[in-house]
Amino acid sequence: MAGYDHIYFLKKAWPLYPGIFEPRSAGFLRDHYARRRRQRSAARALADAAIGLAFHAWIPLRAGAVQRRFGLDAAWRRRAVAIARARFADPNDIALFRIERVEQLDDYVRRFEDAAINKRLNPLGWTSDCVLSDKHRFAERCAASGLPCPPTVALVEKGRAEVRIDPADQPMIAKPRRGEGGDGVRMLGPIADRSALMARLQTGGDDVIVQPLVTVHPSLADIALGALPTVRIVTMLDEQGQPEVVSATFRCASDPKARVDNMKAGGLIVPVDLEEGRLGLGCFGYGGGDHDRHPATGAPIEGRRLPDWSDMRALARRAHREAFVDYVIIGWDIAPSPQGPILIEGNGKPGVLMPQRAARRGLGAGRYGNLLAYHLAMKA
């Protein structure tokens, strides 16, 4: 994992300027890039121009690769090249966000912009001290604030295993302590006692956290399959420093063999109406069509209302306000369970692909964009 972290941070170290000379950004980010342009040194401006020219030349090659990957036609490729050159956009984003016209990009955060923006808003999230990237420390902070979160039953740290709570014959789940995207998750099944759990723990390799397995709310069982569905609720501090819900995306598995709901595991993503908790059309994160019904079970997706939606929203705001106010923006993974909403994880880098692809609209069109522009101005 350490090697992956170094590559990840290296890729994000140089914030790409969205243009050659003039920035070509979404309208709600125009002032931010105007400030960046004024603050650049001459050497940085020349470097940005050289990278911009290379990006411009790369666009047709990228569009051809994306066309082949998603089985699109030549007309799409020509249109994508024209849009990408007009707005300095990645053709892959144009495909995933289903952009058909240049003006649609006025509301989108492009994926190559996200890291540099997030680093300004959540600098703590890019340090080794980020509590949101450590599942054990996250659970401890939640417990200290009385927030509903699965406790740490056992830890494997630096090759040493420690059982902290008697598993009491409950099903358990083991996760990499600092993992992302559902990689390395293992279901341990019911574990009788501490000795039985110690025998199941694997020492060596990555640090691991073991927690009780959260069960799905019965009203979602027909679309859950073998994985716990969650809702990614994004909160951002508003102009008065209070958490506000600005985005929500439901996730569920599409493959009966999957044990996590993540996009990387083929999970479906579904937009959630912020007021009513009603689901829209589902889709896959990386291509494919829309689904108003679950592709494996045939159960309806579109129009379904999430259970305990008002409580889920309240939990996200409370967690941000009472325990994690040192972050401006957080993506909460919240599970609807029979006992009510439960915090599974918090993400200091919640990403922009999932909410924009699922909702079929850019984040800049609502309060997300307003608050993003506000915080970027405050941190200028």
- Per-residue pLDDT band for 1 (boundaries 50, 70, 90) equals very low
Domains of the chain, start order: 2-108 (no CATH), 124-132+216-378 (3.30.470.20), 151-212 (no CATH)
Strands 186-191 and 208-212: unpaired
DSSP secondary structure code for residue 243 in this structure: E
Q: Is the pLDDT of residue 253 over 70?
A: yes
* pLDDT at site 3: 44
Residues 6 or more apart from 56 whose CB is under 8 A from it?
20, 85, 88
CA angle 6–10–14, rounded 5-degree value: 160
Pick the closest to residue 148 from 370, 337, 15 (CA basis). Answer: 337
Bridge partner residues of 250 (DSSP): 231, 270
**SS3 category, 269:** strand
CA dist 10 to 15, 123, 325, Å?
Answer: 11, 15, 27
Q: Average pLDDT of 290-297? A: 95
Whole-number Å distance between alpha carbons of 41 and 57: 24
Q: Average pLDDT of 177-185? A: 78
Distance of CA 354 to the CA centre of its chain: 6
CA angle 293–186–163, rounded 5-degree value: 135
CA dist 171 to 189, 194, 213, 266, 289, Å?
Answer: 4, 13, 6, 24, 35
* pLDDT at site 2: 45
Pick the closest to residue 246 from 373, 120, 355 (CA basis). Answer: 355
345 or 255, greater pLDDT = 345
Per-residue pLDDT of 224-233, as tens digits, reads 998 999 999 9
- Per-residue pLDDT band for 11 (boundaries 50, 70, 90) equals low
Per-residue pLDDT of 98-150, as tens digits, reads 999 999 999 999 999 999 999 999 999 999 899 999 999 999 999 999 999 99
Whole-number Å distance between alpha carbons of 207 and 157: 5
* pLDDT at site 77: 98
Q: Which two tokens stand for residue 220?
A: 């979602």
Q: Average pLDDT of 174-191? A: 84
Whole-number Å distance between alpha carbons of 210 and 193: 13
Q: Average pLDDT of 189-217? A: 89
